[in-house]
């Protein structure tokens, strides 16, 4: 019989939330003046998503948001992180807003506030308006300028009622999965373009932060959500493996937190990518614009990364957890090999390792002292199915959440200023290139009827949210 896990108690002000993103849940892709985003185009391109599935309907949150907010309230959540669809608000990525698009988010925010749930707005969760991609996308500087205009529009519309703001979600995925490996929209495989995209995403964050602050009350908080990797060497005592760690850490982490937190790209990154680019697209004033003081930092964590040195001439499967492609999302790192990390795995094939979350939190506690942290995504996909009574029991997810929330509480005890946790995700949804195959939701969605059924993990998490305590549970 496994030993029970003892109760863990959180600070009273800790936020207990769930997170979603617009394209994954909203549907209604042709309503209210919305025009295609790169994910509409990508998902409608044969062979790009599992089963050719799209987000056209997703889980129809656009029409069912009131029921979804009521469900959050019933569970006892204190916060909800959602993203705004750029092409719903500003259909071409340029020009004036479409008020019917903004009105949807106004209604959503009003519904959340009426239910006592604190909204957190993410401005960009990977769904660039297709017209901006047609003009070059994130590798072009103009996209960052357009983002600042969009940030101003949304900040003016919602800033009086929404206090917590996030500029970008996981810019690493936007840059390197979108423009290097091509497994995400827009599906380009251009290493130099991916590095340009990373810089212009950084610039968009900086310019967007300034735009938000000019449009909103000073009390509001502006952050960014980074999927910073915990990169570990296969052989900790091997200098070549440690050099591989440095290279991947620069490409996963330093390329964003360097300019955002310190105002400079790591010299080791510039050297490692010098055969690809001279970084001349970093213009005078860019780093100043990017290096805006943050009010908080969002961290997204799922699994650690294990690397070693490799022979650059030897090609084979890349076990980095970021989808199958003949093209790498790691420009300039052909001499690095990725390895499957040990331990139990989720349906994504990702190993379950809460120590990585603790390590990540403590790293940023040291690197950005005094900066409040939020876990803006953490969760797991499992092959959830209703039983004969229609209930969905997911003990594996409960164990996953208990382990990772315990790691958060341990980090708080070690001095980290972690102020909230957003479970990924509230609902089963469109999981990007995986279509509807992978279920991350705490709430089960029957994709045929769109009926919502809270899984046992949702009930467990709701109890944690209401009590501030992780209920004792047994690993199974």
Residue 377 known to be catalytic = yes
pLDDT at 2: 43
Catalytic residue among 26, 111, 133, 170: 170
The pLDDT of residue 8: 84
Tell me, rounded to whole angstroms, the distance of Cα 168 from its chain centroid: 8
CA–CA separation, 160 and 113 (whole Å)? 12
| DSSP secondary structure string for all residues of 232-271 | EESSTT-HHHHHHHHHHHIIIIIHHHIIIIISS--HHHHH
Block means of pLDDT (10 residues each) for the chain, 476 residues, are 62 98 98 97 98 98 98 98 98 95 98 98 98 98 98 98 98 98 98 99 98 98 98 97 98 98 98 98 98 98 97 75 94 96 95 98 98 98 97 98 98 98 98 98 98 98 98 62
Q: Give the Å distances, CA to CA, from 393 to 40, 91, 102, 390, 441.
A: 33, 41, 37, 10, 12
pLDDT at 316: 66
Task: Tell me what pLDDT residue 6 has.
Answer: 54
Query: What length does the chain have?
Result: 476
- pLDDT confidence of residue 318: 81
Asked if 1 and 475 count as a contact pair (C-beta separation under 8 A), the reply is: no
Catalytic residue among 53, 377, 396, 431: 377
Give yes or no for a contact between 428 and 444, defined as CB atoms under 8 angstroms apart: yes
The whole-model pTM stands at: 0.97
Q: What is the pLDDT of residue 1?
A: 40
Is 170 an annotated catalytic residue?
Answer: yes
Cβ contact 305:229 at 8 Å: yes
DSSP 284: T
Residue 213 CA to residue 208 CA, distance in Å, equals 9
Q: What pLDDT does 472 receive?
A: 78
**How many CB atoms are closer than 10 A to CB 474?**
13
């Amino acid at each position: 019989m496994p030993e029970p896990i003892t109760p863990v108690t959180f600070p009273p002000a800790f936020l207990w939330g769930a997170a979603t993103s617009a394209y994954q849940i909203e549907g209604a892709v042709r309503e209210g003046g919305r025009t295609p985003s790169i994910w509409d185009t990508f998902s409608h391109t044969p062979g790009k998503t599992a089963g050719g599935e799209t987000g056209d309907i997703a889980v129809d949150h656009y029409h069912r948001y009131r029921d979804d907010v009521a469900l959050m309230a019933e569970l006892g959540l204190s916060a909800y992180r959602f993203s705004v669809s750029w092409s719903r608000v500003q259909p071409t990525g340029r020009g004036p807003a479409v008020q019917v698009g903004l009105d949807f988010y106004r209604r959503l925010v009003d519904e959340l506030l009426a239910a006592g749930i604190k909204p957190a707005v993410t401005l960009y969760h990977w769904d660039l308006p297709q017209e901006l991609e047609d003009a070059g996308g994130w590798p072009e500087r103009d996209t960052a300028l357009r983002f600042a205009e969009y940030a101003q529009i949304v900040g003016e519309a919602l800033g009086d009622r929404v206090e917590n703001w996030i500029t970008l979600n996981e810019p690493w995925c936007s840059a390197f999965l979108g423009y290097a490996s091509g497994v995400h929209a827009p599906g380009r495989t251009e290493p130099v373009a991916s590095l340009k995209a990373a810089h212009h995403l950084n610039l968009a964050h900086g310019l967007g932060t300034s735009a938000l602050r000019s449009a909103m009350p000073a009390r509001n908080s502006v952050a960014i959500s980074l999927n910073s990797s915990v990169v570990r060497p296969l052989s900790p005592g091997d200098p070549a493996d440690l050099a591989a760690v440095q290279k991947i850490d620069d490409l996963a982490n330093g390329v964003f937190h360097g300019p955002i937190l310190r105002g400079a790209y790591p010299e080791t990154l510039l050297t490692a990518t010098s055969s690809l680019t001279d970084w001349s697209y970093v213009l005078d004033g860019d780093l100043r614009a990017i290096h805006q003081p943050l009010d908080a930092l969002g961290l997204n964590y799922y699994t650690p990364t294990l690397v070693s040195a490799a022979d650059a001439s030897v090609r084979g499967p890349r076990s980095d957890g970021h989808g199958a492609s003949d093209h790498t999302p790691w420009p300039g790192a052909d001499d690095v090999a990725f390895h499957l990390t040990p331990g139990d795995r989720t349906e994504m094939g990702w190993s379950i390792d809460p120590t990585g979350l603790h390590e990540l939190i403590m790293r940023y506690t040291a690197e950005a002292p005094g900066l409040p942290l939020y876990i803006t995504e953490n969760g797991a996909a499992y092959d959830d199915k209703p039983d004969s009574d229609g209930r969905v029991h997911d003990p594996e997810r409960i164990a996953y959440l208990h382990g990772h929330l315990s790691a958060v509480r341990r980090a708080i005890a070690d001095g980290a200023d972690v102020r909230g946790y957003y479970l990924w995700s509230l609902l089963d949804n469109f999981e990007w290139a995986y279509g509807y195959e992978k279920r991350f939701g705490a709430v089960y969605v029957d994709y045929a009827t769109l009926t919502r059924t809270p899984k046992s993990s949702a009930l467990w998490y709701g109890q944690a949210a209401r009590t501030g305590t992780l209920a004792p549970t047994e690993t199974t």
